[in-house]
Amino acid sequence: MAKEQALYPSWSGRGPRTKAGIGLFVVAAVAVGMGIAGLDLRTSVTGEAVDAVNSPARPPVQLLPGTDLSDSTTSVRRWGLPGGVVSAPAPPPPTAPEPSSGQKPGTVRLPGGGTATLVRKEVGPDATLPVPEGVREATWWGAGLGAPIGATLLAGHVNFRGAVGPFNELWKAEQGQDVTVSDSDSKVFRYRISEIITLHKNELPDSAERLFSQQGPHRLVLVTCGGRWVGGDLGYNENRIVVATPQV
């Protein structure tokens, strides 16, 4: 059995938390009924590194016949440009103006000011909910922003590969604090924290229907992990759940 190690309320960034399994959390919403019956909404992070995106290799630079680089007066010919004309660099694309709220589109802003980019996900064939690929992303599942009913679930890493994520703030959140979500059109939806729950991951299924159901009043449900690092399939042994209600 893995030796348990305390994580919260403080985090030093050292020790076994930096090994595989960092940021692992589980949303074990089993048989949530009304809208998601029979789904095992488990979200887990294995700690595997995200593959780097490799750009295609550029073709080797070739000079047209007759180009002599030893002569400083010789124009270097570029492909598609006759007569040795050197084109001016393209101007940079215009920068989109920052929204008046100061929050970028498609993000959630937590009470402490940390933000994460929303990534819409659906439950896969194996009945699991994909998790974010890094600490700066939050998986979004369930009801849309501003929906009249149902839970909007945002799940984020508490930490990953040694980096602390913005969802770490959930462990310091307090009732009455605000969370804002900006959609892709920069429309901001404001929610106020009404409930804060810490559950052992084995206890979460009993609360799944109440928290994650797509019925009942609309609410924002933020989820991350923490507690003690126990390794294995659990990783951290607790889930931190913050429920917020919409503000008009």
**Residue written as token pair 């009993």:** 206
Is residue 157 annotated as part of the catalytic site, yes or no? Answer: yes
User: Pick the catalytic residue: 121, 157, 201, 218?
Assistant: 157
Name the β-bridge partners of 182.
107, 188
CA distance 46 to 130: 11
Residue 225: active-site member: yes
φ and ψ of 169, to 5 deg: -65, -20
Look up tokens 């190690």; give the residue: 5
- Cβ pair 110, 166 in contact under 8 A: yes
Which of 170, 225, 230, 244 does the annotation list as catalytic? 225
Single-letter code of the amino acid located at 9: P
Determine phi and psi for 231, rounding to 5 degrees.
Answer: 75, -165
Do the beta carbons of residue 136 and residue 204 sit within 8 Å? no
The residues carrying an active-site annotation are 157, 225
